[in-house]
């Protein structure tokens, strides 16, 4: 809770947690809610996600604890409601009110007319929807890019799809070959929902490198030959951009 000067980077740091096994899950996601009164911390030894108040340091005390987010996986705060968290569980997108613990189902893809028959195929062994833990929906939660993961072929992704929450419509579905799936590190939407983004490794094919795809998953454009440490957002003029380490130069690039 005491600010200190980091001589290496020349910045002021403040340790916010006390426990050795509670941390912010990943730097691409904002751990704070809309009014910064709450924070999600990842209890990474057990795999749990917990919500704490930010009233006092350290955040992760019993007095600050609000709730566990179980059974939500890949939790993300609502952009405007400070008490709502979105997350995934099985084939469902869920919303939780962290003050009363009430959970509602936004979408169950097992009952979707397009994805339901794919999910029920026993040969694929599908068991969840996922971004591979690093992706996000569009900022307004309308568009979602997700993978269908199964137990076959060493638990690889079997399909990618894009869903429009407002119209409750699967805009595109893309089966993945074993080689295509092996390249994918994460999948998600651009902030305004204009593009599906695939964070892929170096190689060849549709999923190689950092790639933008239309919501129908038919038109592919590679932005970079490989995907390194990166984040997506809006520039000062409101344009969608990726900020990423360039693996060829080690510079930090801004990619429109």
Residue 43 buriedness (CB in 10 A; 0-12 / 13-18 / 19+): middle
- Residue 44 reports pLDDT greater than 90: no
* Predicted local distance difference test score (pLDDT) of residue 172: 98
Distance CA 84, CA 103 (A): 10
pLDDT bracket for residue 247 (50, 70, 90): confident
pLDDT tens per residue, range 84-93: 999 999 999 9
Note the pTM of the prediction, 2 decimals. 0.95
Mean pLDDT, residues 169-174 taken together: 98
Average pLDDT of every residue of the chain: 96
pLDDT of amino acid 48: 93
148: phi then psi, degrees, rounded to nearest 5: -100, 115
User: Is the per-residue pLDDT at 140 higher than 90?
Assistant: yes
For 74, other C-beta atoms within 10 Å of its C-beta total 22
The answer, yes or no, to whether residue 58 has pLDDT greater than 90, is: yes
Query: For residue range 92-123, what is the model confidence (pLDDT) as tens digits?
Result: 999 999 999 999 999 999 999 999 999 999 98
Q: What is residue 46's predicted lDDT score, i.e. its pLDDT?
A: 87
pLDDT at 26: 92
């Amino acid at each position: 809770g005491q600010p200190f000067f980091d001589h290496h980077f020349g910045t002021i740091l403040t340790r916010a947690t006390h426990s050795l096994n509670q941390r912010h899950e990943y730097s691409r996601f904002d751990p704070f809610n809309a009014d910064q009164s709450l924070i999600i911390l990842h209890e990474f030894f057990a795999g749990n996600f917990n919500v704490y108040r930010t009233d006092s340091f350290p955040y992760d005390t019993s007095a600050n604890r609000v709730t566990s987010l179980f059974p939500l996986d890949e939790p993300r705060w609502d952009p405007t409601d400070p008490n709502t968290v979105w997350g995934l569980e099985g084939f469902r997108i869920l919303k939780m009110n962290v003050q009363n613990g009430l959970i509602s189902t936004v979408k169950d893809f097992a009952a979707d007319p397009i994805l339901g028959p794919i999910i029920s195929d026993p040969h694929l062994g599908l068991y969840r929807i996922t971004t591979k833990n690093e992706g996000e929906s569009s900022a307004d939660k309308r568009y979602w890019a997700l993978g269908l993961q199964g137990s076959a072929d060493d638990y690889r992704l079997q399909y990618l799809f894009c869903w429009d929450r407002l119209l409750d419509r699967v805009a595109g579905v893309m089966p993945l070959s074993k080689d295509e799936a092996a390249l994918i590190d994460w999948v998600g939407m651009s902030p305004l929902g204009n593009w599906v983004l695939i964070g892929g490794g170096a190689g060849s094919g549709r999923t190689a490198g950092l790639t933008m795809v239309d919501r129908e998953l038919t038109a592919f454009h590679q932005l970079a030959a490989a995907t390194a440490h990166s984040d997506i957002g809006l520039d000062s003029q409101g344009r969608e951009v990726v900020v990423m380490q360039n693996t060829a130069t080690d510079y930090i690039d801004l990619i429109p």
